[in-house]
Structure 1
Amino acid sequence: MSRVAPGIRHYRIVCSACGTSSEDDGLILDCPRPHEPAFLHTEYSATGTRGVEGGGLFRYAPLLPVARTLPGIGGPVVHRAERLGRRIGLNRLWVAFNGYWPDRGAQLPTCTFKDLEAYTVLGRLPAEPPVLVIPSAGNTAAAFAWAATRHRVPCLLVVPAPALERLRFPGPLDPCVRLVVLDGTATYSDAIACADLLAALPGHHAEGGSRNVGRRDGLGTVMLAAAEVLGRLPDTYVQAVGSGTGAIGAHEAAHRTRGDGEALPRLLMCQNAPFAPLHAAWHSTGPAPAHREHEPLARELTNRRPPFTIRGGVRDVLSESGGDVLCTDNEAALAAMALFEETEGIDIEPGAGVAMAALADAVHAGRVRRDELVLLNITGGGRARQARDLPLVPAEPWLRVEWPGGAAGPRLVAEQVARQLTGTAVVAEAAR
């Protein structure tokens, strides 16, 4: 495989509903033809899992939808976790660690696998991109803020106030990165609603979340890395999910790399009670209680609008893989985080603790066999280790807005932000 040449698109964008194939402009999120909602996906000229020379994310550039590669970004680190496996009852447990763990060569700058999606999305953009508008519960904002700072890509990030604790960097953010903080009772879902309106402003563009092929394929490199180390696909893939984008990306990557007759990994998506929308949708238990969105330990998993029914979305990949959505509580997640640090020697994020706790429960219940080849995606870790190793400074918000609440809240906030961006109330009308 050769490294992707700058500016050249080595793939095509294909609609999962109608099959329409087109060249990528770096920004397209949806099929222009009228039909049911459907994900776009990528088709590459390259095949197999063997990456180009070197390490990090862009080792897999021929299987990423990028027009250029960006230097200085690590990738997933896959290793066998024998001690941890014994403790939870598995003989063949492997971990894909995404975070900061220099002892094992893990060097993701903001400590989660969101770095993988951020650098892929930025590498996909056209040469003169619009301002990307991105909502986040914290980790995605951190990844895009630092990647965009390093490579001077204009971004407008919208986060609820609790996300600020995740936004600490080796240096200040570049002025091209504008961070809007929603103070008060605002949630991740509120940030998404505000970002949807702000993306309509002139010169701005929705990053797209799960609809962006760059996100899904960037996160899918976890499966590529595992297949390269294992020499095959795992039997079961376990990951904590909010929208499910990473698990969908892993499933799509498995499709591209599996050998003749090789089964797709069973997807086990894990959520954090009491707010688990995907678990509720998959098990048909009714909507998750919105008033409990603040309660999960892993706030990054609290997405009220996951892509469940869209063609190529969560429901489809779960059905095709024979998968399931598991759920666990805060207490179990905290215990799992402590066990991982005890057995593996590094701290992990709450979301990763949710996945590990749910996996342990599934093994105990006989839903995962002792002899299965299991890949556990540790979606974030090493934040405490990084804070000890490196001097980090808190991000300075560009604008703080008190969340007004109510159905009109997103519009009122979007108007305030638009006025700060343009200095006029006329352009603010675009956010209505």
Structure 2
Amino acid sequence: MKTPRSGGDLCRRYVINSGDHYSLVCTRCGARVADDGTRSGCALCGDDSMLRTEYEAEGFGVDPGASGVFRYRQWLPVRREVAGSGRPAVFRSEGLGGALGLRDLWISFSGYWPERNCGMRSGTFKELEAYTVLGRVPEDAGVMVVASAGNTAAAFAAACRDYAFPCLLVIPERAVAGLAVAGEVGEHVKVVALEGATYNQAIAYSRRLVASSPEFFAEGGVRNVGRRDGLAVVALTAYEETGRLPDFYFQGVGSGAGAIATYEAAGRIIRASASSGGDEAMPRLFLCQNAEFAPLHEAWTGAEGAHPDGQRQVLAPELVNAAPPFSLAGGVRDILTHSAGEMLVADRTSALAASAMFEELEGVDIEPAAAVAVACLRDAVLDGRVPKDARILLNVTGGGRRRSFAALDGACHRPDLRTAHPDSAPEAISSDILNSFSKGARRVQLI
């Protein structure tokens, strides 16, 4: 099954041989390794660290001829540009900023908002990582298995419309409805929906699927440098648009991948600035979780752990990860420590009020994870944790889904779906999925 794929639509704008413009470095032992496009860990340190990228290009730069995330390809671990990606819309907020009394609030919006030239059909910034991961992975790697609480699955379903890479999405059953926002889903995307499952049960089941056949490989989650450097496009776009790093950065987090990405990107920008006489400084990272279930907040503050049932009571299930990368080298504890950051929480009532406030003031609906971040920003301002004259970047990680559904005009397509119990053996469903992939056409479309 692992054979190179090609097609009549193949048209490359550029091809980068893996390792030509970057290398991978262990955050714990410093070991430097070449990238094979799927590597997600250090052979020496195992689960105690993450890999990060080091790029040949030391200065910040853009490729104006490239589209979407690939505008920043010199700081992306990619070997090809995949058609269809977008970038966040970055703008100074007059509505929300004015209501909160903030003089220099900037919003990075990822989602569907045509008036601001933002067209992410999945309604989430996870598209940034999906296109970057697809631009990194070898074409003959096999079937990529992606565990998701919902948003990442929707993003990969959207990205795989343009790049026909075999992808298996493993999600809780409640997340199936959110895949429709991606519109048409091709035959190269399969879904396993787990009955009554949590996000962490989806992660566990995806690992068992990968172990069931050598034809599968794990996407890697927060350990995938493609995922993190794709999410870093939030920081890169904001820096390009505003000309400087913010003083404070707010984002809702589950695993913390987007926050780690922002920290790593800010570090590259700071080093590039220093080499040319600049004085950029690391933003303070204010990371936000559901008050009902907040493992990162508890780990950082030493607060008493929430009851496990809290996972099912949260407004934003995308922010629920019961085993986030907190203490490993390069993980959330490190970035909070080095950025003088904080962990904040907002409960369901507060986040719902923040969502309504944002839509009224800015004119677009936002996703629950973003609403948690808005609520935490509002509370931080009221508590005096954030000076009102500080430059703040608020990462609105998803929005515009109602607009996106309306734009589809009913043209939603059900994905190739199988259901399973999270405790069931994966072998039968694994065989069925691989057989279905072998029967499907493989079409690659690059730009």
Could you state the TM-score of these two structures normalised by the residue count of structure 1?
Answer: 0.92
Does residue 139 in structure 1 map to residue 158 in structure 2?
no
Distance 1:170 1:16 in 2: 35
Deviations 1:149-174 (A, max 9, x none): 32111111111111012111464322
Partner letter of residue 202 of structure 2? Answer: A
Corresponding position: 1:400 with 2:419: yes
Aligned mates of 1:188, 1:416 — CA distance in 2? 22
Q: Which deviates the most, 284-293 or 137-146?
A: 284-293
Stretch of structure 1 that moved more, 310-319 or 381-390:
381-390
Q: Which residue of 2 aligns with 1:45?
A: 56
Taking the aligned partners of 1:176 and 1:103, their CA distance within structure 2 comes to 32
| Map of 1:188 onto structure 2 | 199
Give, in whole Å, the separation in 2 of the partners of 1:290 and 1:419.
34
Superposition map of 1:21-420 within 5 A: 21-34=32-45, 37-54=48-65, 55-169=67-181, 171-183=183-195, 185-200=196-211, 201-258=213-270, 259-260=273-274, 261-391=279-409, 392-401=411-420, 403=421, 409-410=422-423, 412-420=424-432
Would the alpha carbon gap of residues 231 and 4 (structure 1) be closer, same or farther in structure 2, given more than 3 Å must change? farther
Contact 1:131–1:156, Cα closer than 8 Å, also in 2 = yes
Aligned mates of 1:110, 1:418 — CA distance in 2: 26
Amino acid at match of 2:58: T
For residues 338 and 178 of structure 1, do their structure 2 counterparts lie closer, same or farther at Cα, with a shift above 3 Å needed? same
Going from structure 1 to structure 2, the CA distance change for 1:35 and 1:303 (only over 3 Å counts) comes to closer
Q: Distance in 2 between matches of 1:7 and 1:19?
A: 23
SS at match of 1:398: strand
8 Å CA contact retained: 1:6, 1:69: no
Contact 2:351–2:375 (CA<8 Å) still a contact in 1?
A: yes
Does the aligned pair in 2 maintain the 1:158–1:191 contact within 8 Å?
yes
Cα distance in structure 1, aligned partners of 2:402 and 2:432: 35
Aligned length: 413
Q: Is the 8 A contact 2:50 2:330 kept in 1?
A: yes
* Amino acid in structure 2 at the alignment position of 1:318: L
> Cα distance, 1:397 vs. partner?
4.0
> What's the offset of the Cα at 1:8?
4.7
RMSD of the alignment, in Å?
Answer: 1.7
Structure 1: 4+ residue segments shifted above 3 A: 3-9, 169-172
Provide Cα deviations, 1:38-69, integer angstroms capped at 9, x if missing partner.
11000011133331114521111111000111
Asked whether the equivalents of residues 181 and 397 of structure 1 are also in contact (C-alpha less than 8 Å), the reply is no
Is the CA contact (8 Å cut-off) linking 1:73 and 1:109 kept in structure 2?
A: no
SS in 2 for 1:151: coil
SS at match of 1:341: helix
State the Cα distance separating 1:17 from its structure 2 match. 1.0
Output the CA distance in 1 between the equivalents of 2:372 and 2:417: 32
1:364-386 per-residue CA deviation (whole Å, 9 max, x = no partner) reads 00111111100000000110111
Q: What is the Cα deviation at residue 4 of structure 1?
A: 5.8
Q: How far apart in 2 are the matches of 1:110 and 1:170?
A: 5
**1:308-346 deviations in whole A, cap 9, x for unaligned?**
011000000000000011000111111111111111111
| Structure 1 position 291, deviation (Å) | 2.0
Q: CA deviation at 1:422?
A: 6.1
1:4–1:62 contact (8 Å) kept in structure 2 = no
- Structure 1 stretch 371-380 or stretch 189-198: which is displaced more? 189-198
Residues 196/95 of structure 1: CA separation in 2 closer, same or farther (3 Å cut): same
Percent identical among aligned pairs is 48
The 1:316/1:34 distance shift into structure 2, 3 A limit, reads closer
Which amino acid letter does the alignment assign opposite residue 109 of structure 1?
Answer: R
1: distance between equivalents of 2:22 and 2:224? 15
Query: Deviations for 1:105-145, whole angstroms, at most 9, x for unmatched residues?
Result: 11112111000000000100113122111111111001112
Report if aligned partners of 1:36, 1:311 keep a CA contact under 8 Å in 2: no
Residues 181 and 405 in structure 2, CA contact (< 8 A), matched pair in contact too: no
Whether contact under 8 Å (1:235, 1:264) holds in the other structure is yes
Comparing both chains, which one has the higher relative contact order based on Cα–Cα distances under 8 Å and sequence gaps of 6 or more? Answer: 2
Please state how far the C-alpha of 1:421 moved relative to its aligned partner. 3.6
Gaps of 5+ in 2: 1-12, 436-447
**Structure 1 residues not aligned, in runs of 5+:** 404-408, 424-432
User: Match of 2:392, SS?
Assistant: strand
Kept after mapping to 2: 8 A contact 1:278/1:306: yes
Question: Which residue in 2 is equivalent to 1:429?
Answer: none
Q: TM-score, normalised by structure 2?
A: 0.89
